């Protein structure tokens, strides 16, 4: 498997970052809901500690992924795709990147505004990014929750599009993102 993208396929680094971040975000949805609904106890605090540390890790991986995308340009989109489809793909991908950053940053704002200490996996103390402020905390909680639903909607569109490419258009947009595929893209079947 080549590490860099080719003209037609994703390289190993982009694939690992895509699937690692995807798995972590889905895990965070579950962890977030369990932590919020858990009765107040040391376990609840522990669940939030994990939620916050994994969330900051996602933020770092997302920044790394964006830097890598800049260094290693993505493969071309399907030559047969109409302009609206390419624009929808580009816009939804940009919104996914934005959500990958905004989701953990809004969590970090909740934490700082609530004046909770933030320690990455109990090891590295991270600074507060806003001053303690109850109103700001409530607003950031609202943003964090809204972003969750926005991300769910974007993911329904994203996964739906990937399956549509695979099942209806029968091109290799999905397979070129899967592990172990480095071939050039097939042309879609019209
Ligand atoms: C939280 C979960 C996910 C996030 C945040 C996410 C995000 C993204 C982003 C931002 C891109 C664009 C990459 C770029 O242009 O640099 C992308 C590409 C892609 N994603 Fe996801 N993704 C997720 C889950 C999934 C899942 C579950 C599938 C499959 C069912 C999938 C299939 C794909 C495919 C096939 C591409 C490549 C599209 C192309 O080659 O043009 N993704 N993803
Ligand atoms: C991609 C990263 C993240 C995802 C997908 C995520 C997801 C979620 C979800 C689904 C919830 C439950 C729904 C809600 O009440 O908002 C939640 C709650 C929460 N998250 Fe995150 N989160 C992420 C990152 C973070 C980070 C980095 C922090 C803090 C440093 C954080 C702090 C919190 C807090 C304090 C709550 C409880 C909010 C409340 O009581 O209303 N999250 N998160």
CATH class of the structural domain 12-177 = mainly alpha
Residue-level pLDDT at 27 = 98
- Global pTM? 0.94
CA dihedral 172, 148, 101, 139 (to 10 degrees): 160
Over 50: is that where the pLDDT of 186 sits?
Answer: no
| Per-domain boundaries in the chain | 12-177
Q: Which of 6, 13, 162, 171 to mutate to test the pocket of ligand 1 (most atoms within 8 A of CB)?
A: 162
The reply to whether ligand 2 has any atom less than 6 angstroms from the CB of 26 is: no
Residue-level pLDDT at 1 = 67
Kindly give the distance from the C-alpha atom of residue 84 to the centroid of ligand 2, in angstroms, as a whole number. Answer: 34
Q: In percent, how much of the chain has pLDDT > 70?
A: 94
* 100 Cα nearest atom in ligand 1: 5
Residue-level pLDDT at 81 = 82
3-state class percentages of the chain: helix first, strand second, coil last, to nearest 5: 65, 5, 30
Q: What are phi and psi of 124, to 5 degrees?
A: -110, 120
């Amino acid at each position: 498997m080549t590490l860099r993208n080719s003209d037609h396929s994703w390289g190993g680094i982009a694939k690992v970052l895509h699937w690692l971040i995807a798995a972590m975000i889905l895990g965070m949805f579950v962890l977030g809901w369990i932590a919020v609904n858990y009765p107040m106890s040391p376990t609840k605090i522990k669940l939030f500690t994990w939620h916050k540390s994994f969330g900051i890790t996602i933020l770092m991986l997302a920044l790394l992924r964006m830097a890598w995308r800049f260094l290693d340009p993505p493969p071309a989109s399907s030559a047969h795709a109409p302009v609206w489809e390419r624009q929808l793909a580009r816009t939804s991908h940009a919104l996914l990147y934005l959500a990958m950053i905004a989701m953990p940053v809004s969590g970090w704002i909740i934490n700082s505004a609530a004046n909770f200490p933030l320690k990455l996996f109990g090891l590295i103390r991270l600074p507060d990014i806003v001053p303690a402020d109850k109103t700001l905390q409530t607003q950031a909680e609202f943003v964090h929750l809204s972003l969750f639903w926005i991300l769910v909607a974007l993911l329904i569109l994203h996964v739906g599009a990937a399956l549509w490419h695979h099942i209806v258009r029968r091109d290799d947009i999905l397979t070129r993102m899967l592990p172990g595929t480095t071939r050039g893209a097939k042309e879609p079947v019209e």
